[in-house]
């Protein structure tokens, strides 16, 4: 009787051991097949901040493309990043400006940005289509004309500034203003540029477009 009990106990332990081995093997295989999937999260529920479908430049109107470039320019002109090094060297702003216009920014707003950045302040900029107005655009002027005219634009912008970063509960200071920029624009990208090579170098695609700010001011001139 004792031998039978010992036999059954040994058989039971053998079965338990076998089950444990099978479970360990299944867990190991499951771990091998596991993967990490990445997701893109947006900061808020604003449709304007969502990544949209790729667009053919030929399907974008001249005014729409012009507005997108102006928005990018004004954002680069005023944005503040905490602890930013070499503030006065913003490649996008430089490529979208003439030498004189870029110097205007370096001698003016860039100084304010550098001071804010050293204080770990953070500022973002919003510009909306209805806030962009061409002030001296000739009647019946077509942006596709061979000769590009310098046109002054009034651009209303809105800023949100956080006095401190990484501090929960801090509310931003909201302000608005108007900046006047003189710019030359023509739909399309600059000639004799290899788009593929340009992008492979990690440069910003916005610099490819025929858009150049020639003068900046806080009042119409």
Place of tokens 């012009």: 66
Structure tokens at 125: 């900029």
Percent share of the chain, pLDDT over 90: 40
158 shares a domain with 85: yes
Torsion angles phi and psi, residue 45, rounded to 5? -95, 20
180 shares a domain with 78: yes
Does residue 9 form part of some domain?
A: yes
108 shares a domain with 189: yes
14 shares a domain with 93: no
Residue 123's domain comprises 62-217
Does residue 44 form part of some domain?
A: no
- Residue whose C-alpha is closest to residue 74's, from 96, 50, 98: 96
What Cα–Cα distance (Å) separates residue 148 from each residue in 17, 23, 143, 145?
A: 82, 73, 7, 7
pTM: 0.71
**What is the C-alpha to C-alpha distance for residues 23 and 108, in angstroms, rounded to an integer?**
68
125 shares a domain with 87: yes
SS3 content of the chain, % helix, strand, coil (to 5): 40, 25, 35
Domain count, the chain: 2
Does residue 72 form part of some domain?
A: yes
Check residue 7 and give its pLDDT.
56
Does residue 165 form part of some domain?
A: yes
Does residue 53 form part of some domain?
A: no
Q: What is the pLDDT of residues 38-82, one digit of tens each?
A: 434 444 444 444 445 556 666 678 889 999 999 999 999 999 999
């Amino acid at each position: 009787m004792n031998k039978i009990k010992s036999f059954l106990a040994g058989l039971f332990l053998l079965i338990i051991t076998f089950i444990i081995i099978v479970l360990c093997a299944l867990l190991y295989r499951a771990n091998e097949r596991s993967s990490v999937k990445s997701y893109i999260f947006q900061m808020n529920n604003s449709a304007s901040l969502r990544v949209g479908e790729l667009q053919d430049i030929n399907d974008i109107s001249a005014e729409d493309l012009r507005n997108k470039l102006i928005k990018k320019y004004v954002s680069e002109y005023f944005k503040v990043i905490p602890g930013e090094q070499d503030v006065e060297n913003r490649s996008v702003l430089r490529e979208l400006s003439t030498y004189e216009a870029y110097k205007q920014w370096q001698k003016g707003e860039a100084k304010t940005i550098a001071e804010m950045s050293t204080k770990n302040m953070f500022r973002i900029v919003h510009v909306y289509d209805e806030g962009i107005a061409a002030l001296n655009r000739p009647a019946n002027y077509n942006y596709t004309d061979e000769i590009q005219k310098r046109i002054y634009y009034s651009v209303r912008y809105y800023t949100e500034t956080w006095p401190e970063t990484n501090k929960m509960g801090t509310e931003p200071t909201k302000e608005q203003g108007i900046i006047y920029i003189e710019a030359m624009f023509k739909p399309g990208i600059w000639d004799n540029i290899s788009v593929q090579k340009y992008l492979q170098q990690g440069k910003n695609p916005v610099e490819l477009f025929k858009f150049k700010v020639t003068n900046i001011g806080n009042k119409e001139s």
